[in-house]
Amino acid sequence: MSTNIRLSGDVHPRLADGFERIRREIKLPEEFPKAVLAEAARVADDPAPAVRQDLTELPFVTIDPPGSMDLDQALFIEALGSGYRVWYAIADVGAFVRPGGALDAEARLRGETVYLPDGKVPLHPQVLSEGAASLLPGVTRPAAVWRIDLDAEGGLIGVDVQRSLVRSRERLDYDYVQAAVDTGTADGTLKLLAEVGRLRLGLERARGGVTLPTLEQEVVAGDGGYRLEYRAPVPSEAWNAQISLLTGMCAASMMLDAEIGVLRVLPPPQPSDLATVRRAALALGVPWPEGASYGDVVHDLDPKVPSNAAFLNESKILLRGSGYVAFDGEPPKLAEHSAVAAPYAHVTAPLRRLVDRYATEVCLAIAAGEPVPDDVQAALEDLPEIMSITGRRANAVERASIDLVEAFVLRDRIGQSFDAVVLDIDERRPGGLVQLTDPAVIARCDGSPLPLGQSVRVRLTQADPNTREVRFTVA
């Protein structure tokens, strides 16, 4: 169950060449055109004028992976009676990217920031994404600040969003936050984040929402080589994600009420797919009590357990088909994201995703009681297609990068045997998908029978960094 690959240490020249080949094959945008860089440099020092509330006295902090510089979100949580007030500052990219300009046109071509293990292809030039628009600590920045009031159970009781000025105090990472909570030293926002995060996770489960437990693949350099390891996210990542989900749900409700906007949607699972997943749970011994939802079943699963890993892989069919839908007038028939179990919109990552900037502009206008700007209305119709095309490109880069790293790490181990778990069985031909225990590799395995969800011994038959292909056979 991998979502990305993190690279720790220097990049081997052969890997660097492989990543560059991926960039060429998938035709990722190269350097920014001179006109785009010139506009970015100009607006970095001259953001669009706007009436802003001064919130620089609020002690916002950012929580991101170590080393991140493109900081979209800053957080401050305070007690509000028996409940909570969540202040969520989102980088105001609309203050810098002017509709119809070179920056806007380039952003529409790129769609989103694309990440590779050795770097990224950013949505915006660095002077903005890691500079003037980023919510870096110790500097005043324009932001769209959401004020979300919650009751003692974490339920929503009020929301607003306004253009503001903020000044983040610290740039924190997830491990730091988790350690502070675990050791009892967390206070203020960090202590309340744990409280609110747990409450929101409980509400997600109650409404039938799904957050899949995942393992990440991490490439660690050392001892003259590389090794692949699995990394399980810490709870603070889930708590932080719940704040983003909460904000996206507030944004979606706001846009639906105003009958204009752009939503992130996912249709309900097909009955046949749900039946398939139920059969997989039965075959793998994963408990599915009568009346329990899919979200209830996966909520506490440990992906390190072989049968759980296989079930989570099989159940991904229930989460396919997500996309965007724009509307100006009657809301769309499909307005809900089935994994969120509520209407949902992307508004919290405008430095890295095009659609968030436009959705934020819609919400700012609605909250202010003003018409949505004409240029924003005009752009809404094209956003679903833009995000679909650029999203497929980003997914292709991720898949190719994972394949390359796995082939590179295993290139000198042809013929060796490994312990693995069967994640999937190919019904059309002998073989399926296996997940190695060590190193952290998921690849095709030939031969039969392959017992779904059980441990097997497999032998490496192919690991070619040039073709990015890894194959095993039953040992």
Residue 9 is predicted with a pLDDT of 58
Q: How confident is the model at residue 7 (pLDDT cuts 50, 70, 90)?
A: low
pLDDT at 188: 97
More confident residue, 401 or 8: 401
* Predicted local distance difference test score (pLDDT) of residue 1: 30
**Per-residue pLDDT for 223 more than 80?**
no
Each residue of 136-159: pLDDT tens digit? 999 999 999 999 999 999 999 999
DSSP label of 47 = P
Q: How many CB atoms lie within 10 A of CB 392?
A: 12
The fraction of the chain above a pLDDT of 90, given in percent, is 68
Q: How far apart are CA 454 and CA 107, in angstroms?
A: 46
Residues 424 and 431: their CA atoms lie apart, in Å, by 9
Q: State the chain's mean pLDDT as an integer.
A: 92
What would the pLDDT profile of 47-80 be if each residue is shown by its tens digit? Answer: 988 899 999 999 999 999 988 999 999 999 999 9
What gap in Å lies between CA 344 and CA 198, rounded to an integer?
20
pLDDT at residue 225, rounded to an integer = 64
Tens of pLDDT, residue by residue over 337-366, are: 999 999 999 999 999 999 999 999 999 999
Question: Cα torsion at 116, 119, 124, 126 (round to 10°)?
Answer: 170
Q: Span 248-270, mean pLDDT? A: 97
Rounded Cα–Cα distance for residues 383 and 401 (Å): 27
Summarize the confidence of residues 423-448 as an average pLDDT: 86
Nearest-CA neighbor of 381 among 324, 323, 322, 321?
A: 324
The residue whose two tokens read 């979502």 is: 3
Question: What does pTM read for this prediction?
Answer: 0.92
Among 125-129, 282-286, 349-353, 378-382, where is mean pLDDT lowest? 282-286
pLDDT at 29 over 70: yes
Q: Report the distance separating Cα 146 and Cα 254, nearest Å.
A: 12
The pair phi, psi for residue 330, each rounded to 5°, is: -60, 130
Say how many Å lie between the first and final Cα of the chain, rounded: 23
pLDDT tens-digit readout, 288-323: 998 888 888 888 788 888 888 888 888 888 888 999
pLDDT in tens, 315-345: 888 888 999 999 999 999 999 999 999 999 9
Element (H, E) at 190: helix 188-207
pLDDT of amino acid 224: 59
pLDDT band at 118 (very low <50, low <70, confident <90, very high): confident
3-state secondary structure 241-293: HHHHHHHHHHHHHHHHHHCEEEEEEECCCCHHHHHHHHHHHHHHCCCCCCCCC
Residue the block writes with tokens 């699963």:
301
* Residue 285 CB neighbour total at 10 angstroms: 10
Which amino acid does the sequence have at 19?
F
Token duo for residue 182 = 């675990």
The model's pLDDT over 403-420, given as tens digits with 9 standing for 90+, comes to: 998 899 899 999 999 999
The rounded Cα 272 to chain-centroid distance in angstroms is: 28
Contact 158, 86 (CB under 8 A): no
Instruction: Choose the most confident range, by mean pLDDT, from 193-202, 298-307, 426-435.
Output: 193-202
Give the pLDDT of residue 104. Answer: 96
Residues facing 220 on adjacent strands: 8, 227
